Amino acid sequence: MNYDLVIVGGGLAGNCLALALKNSGLKIAIVEAQEREILQTAAIGDRALALAAGTVDALKMLNLWQEIEHAATSIKQIHISDKGHFGKTRLSAETENVEALGYVITARDLETHIANQVLISENITLYCPARVVGLMADENAMFMSLKYHDESLNITAKLVVGADGGQSSVRQLLNIEQHFSDYGQTALVTTVTATRPHQNIAYERFTSSGPLALLPISTHDCAVVWTRKTHEAESLICDSETDFIEQLQECFGWRLGELKLSAPRRAFPLSLIRAESMISQRAVIIGNAAHQLHPVAGQGFNLGLRDVMVLAEMLQTQNETGDIGSTEFLKHFSRIRQMDLSRTIHFTNAIVHIFSNEWLALALARNIGLALLDMLPFAKTALARQAMGL
């Protein structure tokens, strides 16, 4: 079979790209390795996604937001503090003249709805379960070897997009190297129920072991993303629920009253990973296949969706005038994405290193900074716009 565009990976990034281009006139296929039933029960689907305001705008453009808005909880305020120190700052949707600074939704709710839209789209062919076992490009096309339902299948594409996550088979088959930095931290993910309503406030609390985020979901429930040093996280995941909550309560405080666990605990090791290149001959990688960030600023999916939206817009224009897999086109896309990628990665990385540090001088400087930030409207607006992905 011959296609214009083959997207490897039927997750959030890959499916959103296909939906963005479903009316473009391009002949599109998606190759997904995992059967849908497996994806719907995977532990990673439990994680909460913080959707920046810019991401919500993109989902509206894709006609996706209207059907999932009911499953999302708005963030009206963000409260930032440093455990054991005086520094605090608060960001407000009202102050920034926006309806919300962002929204929180479970990955499974978002993934399920987007996957359903792909299934009912007549212009998208889905190969699932299927995995890529070989790639070879020439001047005119990319030749792909698939293992599809235990059978071998060969297809071609003008362009292949790798949107197949952190262990991307496309990236590996293209021999694109990665820059890897281990934070020595693990994210503990769960849900808690509080005795006091959260009032649509998201809390980001920095500690010497890593940041703790409580994100609003239902009236009294909050999604927890608790970053700890790896050996501490291993101990916490094995502790009893009582011991776990006791330590979480000590770390967060009593702003929301008493906390109780209401979901299983999951653990995810953290590292900063960035591909050496986003492009190869007739191929491009996006989303987690190209970059994986620390969750401290909640920018992972938001950054990946910006990859998607920029690529979709450029592909529609290029399809009208030239070859969507040309080297010049792919280099142009890569150049356009570099500023956003670098800025977001450096912003996230700096927060991790500045706030996961108890060196006295640095602790004093960052708390003075937080206190000043709370008094400087223009600085708070700049931070809010970064958080909102604008």
Higher-pLDDT residue of 72, 382: 72
**pLDDT of 134 above 50:** yes
- pLDDT band, residue 373 (cuts 50/70/90): very low
Reported as a single tens digit per residue, the pLDDT across 319-351 is 998 999 999 999 999 999 998 888 887 767 666
Residue 297 has a pLDDT of: 52
- Range 254-260 contact pairs with CB under 8 angstroms and sequence separation of 24 or more: 255/79, 255/196, 255/203, 256/194, 256/195, 256/196, 256/198, 256/214, 256/222, 257/194, 257/195, 257/196, 258/194, 258/195, 259/192, 259/193, 259/194, 260/192, 260/193, 260/194
**pLDDT of 84 above 70:** no
Residue 359 has a pLDDT of: 43
Residue 372 has a pLDDT of: 45
Higher-pLDDT residue of 140, 292: 140
- pLDDT band, residue 224 (cuts 50/70/90): very high
Reported as a single tens digit per residue, the pLDDT across 90-99 is 788 887 778 8
**pLDDT of 381 above 80:** no
Backbone φ, ψ for residue 219 (5° rounding): -50, -45
Percent of the chain scoring above 90 in pLDDT = 57
Mean pLDDT over the full length of the chain: 85
- The structural architecture, per CATH, of the domain 2-50+108-179+271-351 is 3-Layer(bba) Sandwich (3.50)
**Mean pLDDT of all residues in 112-135:** 93
Reported as a single tens digit per residue, the pLDDT across 292-308 is 876 655 567 888 999 99
**Mean pLDDT of all residues in 59-70:** 93
Q: Any idea what DSSP says for residue 288?
A: G
Beta partners for 78? 91, 202
* CA separation for the pair 146, 1 (Å, rounded): 12
**Mean pLDDT of all residues in 358-364:** 44
**pLDDT of 313 above 90:** yes
- pLDDT band, residue 58 (cuts 50/70/90): very high
Residue 383 has a pLDDT of: 53
Handedness of CA 193, 194, 200, 202 (dihedral sign): negative
Residue 43 has a pLDDT of: 67
- pLDDT band, residue 370 (cuts 50/70/90): very low
- pLDDT band, residue 371 (cuts 50/70/90): very low
**Mean pLDDT of all residues in 201-226:** 88
- pLDDT band, residue 242 (cuts 50/70/90): very high
Domain ranges of the chain: 2-50+108-179+271-351
Reported as a single tens digit per residue, the pLDDT across 255-274 is 999 999 999 998 988 888 88
Residue 369 has a pLDDT of: 46
- Range 208-214 contact pairs with CB under 8 angstroms and sequence separation of 24 or more: 208/83, 208/356, 208/357, 208/358, 209/185, 209/356, 210/183, 210/185, 210/296, 210/352, 210/356, 211/296, 211/351, 211/352, 211/355, 211/356, 212/248, 212/251, 212/252, 213/295, 213/296, 213/298, 214/252, 214/256
**pLDDT of 128 above 80:** yes
